[in-house]
């Protein structure tokens, strides 16, 4: 088991070896047990983490703020539109100074072609661990919580059939970072992954190739289909979620002809009936209700979205404890 994580960055789970992720999962479960029993976890007493947000957030911001408080430290929320970043301050200057003020930096920047590059620039100049709270390519905090949730429900995940399915939504043009993170991570735990989407909503070729390589190394499988029904059929976990057509169209336009032509890609009771009799429905939230999914599904007995969301707290605490604590 990996034991020394102090100072390690958390930008992509691809950067973490499998034994490191194993340790992260174990610590997350320990955090959850302690939280349930009311056992104090003062692992980061008097430590400060800066939480930089370029976008809105509910689960990510609150899991980090509550998490650092429960660890005995303090989270400073930074709406970057109210900082000197809005006047053009470069990532280097921000990273160097925040590093001197505290013990960790976390950042959400989902701008296409910008977000990951910005966080990597922060990482380059920071002397404290940097955590990715979602960028245009990766959402490691969500990915590890998803993996933890599936393991809790199933145990050994090898051979488990999970389908990552594009779904229709109109709220905004969403990042590809959640499905991309999932398709890279799940095969490393031997899952049988189906990635389903209408043509035009492709993930980057390099990501699909890396997912295939991960599957080859760890006994998983990755299959791509453009048939929604095929993805639901016999699946044990379904994750129907919208993502934008960023790879094929960099426009910020939300409602376009491609989107409207795929309005039928929706998680309904009929689709759920195609899946395994014990199928579990997952979503990173917020769900675009009655577009992505029917209320009867997300509020029904097959839904584990709230368990999944709760685990964001425990995994966030584990990430912070491992990277900001230690000797």
Residue 8 belongs to a domain = no
pLDDT digits (tens, 9 = 90+) for 224-239: 999 999 999 999 999 9
Which residue's entry shows tokens 């393991």?
A: 151
Domain housing 270: 141-305
Same domain, 112 and 36: yes
CATH of the domain at 37: 3.40.50.1370
What is the structure's pLDDT at 327? Answer: 58
Same domain, 148 and 235: yes
Closest CA to 142 of 317, 316, 289: 316
Residue 160 belongs to a domain = yes
What is the structure's pLDDT at 254? Answer: 84
Structure tokens at 100: 């001197």
Q: Under DSSP, is residue 48 helix (H, G, I), strand (E, B) or coil?
A: strand
What is the structure's pLDDT at 4? Answer: 85
CA distance 233 to 165: 12
CA distance 94 to 317: 24
Closest CA to 104 of 327, 323, 326: 323
Residue 1 belongs to a domain = no
Residue 108 belongs to a domain = yes
Residue 230 belongs to a domain = yes
Same domain, 273 and 316: no
Same domain, 225 and 300: yes
Q: Under DSSP, is residue 230 helix (H, G, I), strand (E, B) or coil?
A: helix
Same domain, 299 and 319: no
Same domain, 222 and 79: no
Same domain, 104 and 211: no
Same domain, 29 and 108: yes
DSSP string across 160-218: -EEEEEE----SS---SHHHHHHHHHGGGGT-EEEEE--TT-PPPHHHHHHHHHHHHHH
Residue 79 belongs to a domain = yes
Same domain, 268 and 317: no
Q: Under DSSP, is residue 72 helix (H, G, I), strand (E, B) or coil?
A: coil
Number of independent structural domains in the chain = 2
Same domain, 267 and 319: no
Residue 2 belongs to a domain = no
Same domain, 83 and 100: yes
Same domain, 131 and 209: no
Element holding 134 (H helix, E strand)? strand 130-135
Residue 208 belongs to a domain = yes
Structure tokens at 30: 């320990």
Distance of CA 5 to the CA centre of its chain: 20
CA distance 212 to 196: 15
What is the structure's pLDDT at 261? Answer: 97
pLDDT digits (tens, 9 = 90+) for 66-89: 999 999 999 999 999 999 999 999
What is the structure's pLDDT at 238? Answer: 98
Helix axis angle for 177-185 and 205-218, nearest 10°, is: 30
Radius of gyration in angstroms for the set of CA atoms belonging to the chain, rounded to a whole number:
19
Global pTM value: 0.97
Under-50 pLDDT residues of the chain: none
What is the structure's pLDDT at 1? Answer: 55
């Amino acid at each position: 088991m990996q034991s020394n994580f102090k100072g390690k960055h958390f930008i992509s789970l691809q950067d973490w070896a499998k034994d490191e992720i194993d340790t992260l999962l174990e610590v997350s479960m320990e955090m959850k047990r302690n939280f349930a029993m009311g056992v104090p976890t003062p692992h980061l007493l008097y430590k400060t983490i800066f939480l930089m947000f370029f976008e809105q957030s509910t689960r990510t911001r609150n899991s980090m703020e509550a998490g650092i408080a429960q660890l005995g430290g303090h989270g400073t929320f930074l709406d970057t539109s109210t900082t000197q970043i809005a006047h053009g301050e470069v990532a280097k200057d921000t990273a160097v100074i925040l590093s001197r003020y505290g013990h960790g930096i976390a950042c959400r920047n989902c701008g296409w072609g910008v977000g990951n590059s910005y966080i990597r620039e922060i990482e380059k100049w920071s002397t404290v661990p940097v955590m990715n709270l979602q960028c245009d390519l990766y959402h490691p905090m969500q990915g590890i919580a998803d993996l933890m949730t599936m393991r809790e429900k199933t145990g050994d995940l090898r051979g488990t059939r999970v389908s990552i399915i594009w779904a229709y939504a109109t709220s905004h043009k969403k990042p590809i970072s959640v499905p991309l993170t999932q398709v890279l991570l799940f095969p490393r735990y031997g899952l049988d992954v189906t990635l389903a989407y209408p043509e035009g909503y492709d993930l980057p070729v390099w990501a699909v190739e890396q997912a295939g390589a991960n599957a080859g190394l760890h006994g998983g499988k990755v299959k791509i289909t453009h048939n929604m029904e095929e993805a639901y059929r016999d699946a044990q976990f379904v994750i129907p979620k919208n993502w934008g057509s960023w790879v094929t169209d960099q426009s910020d336009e939300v409602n376009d002809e491609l989107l409207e032509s795929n309005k039928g890609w929706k998680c309904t009771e009929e689709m759920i009936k195609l899946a395994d009799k014990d199928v579990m429905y997952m979503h990173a939230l917020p769900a675009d209700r009655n577009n992505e999914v029917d209320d009867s599904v997300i509020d029904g007995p097959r839904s584990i979205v709230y368990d999944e969301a709760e685990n964001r707290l425990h995994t966030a605490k584990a990430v912070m404890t491992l990277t900001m604590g230690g000797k």
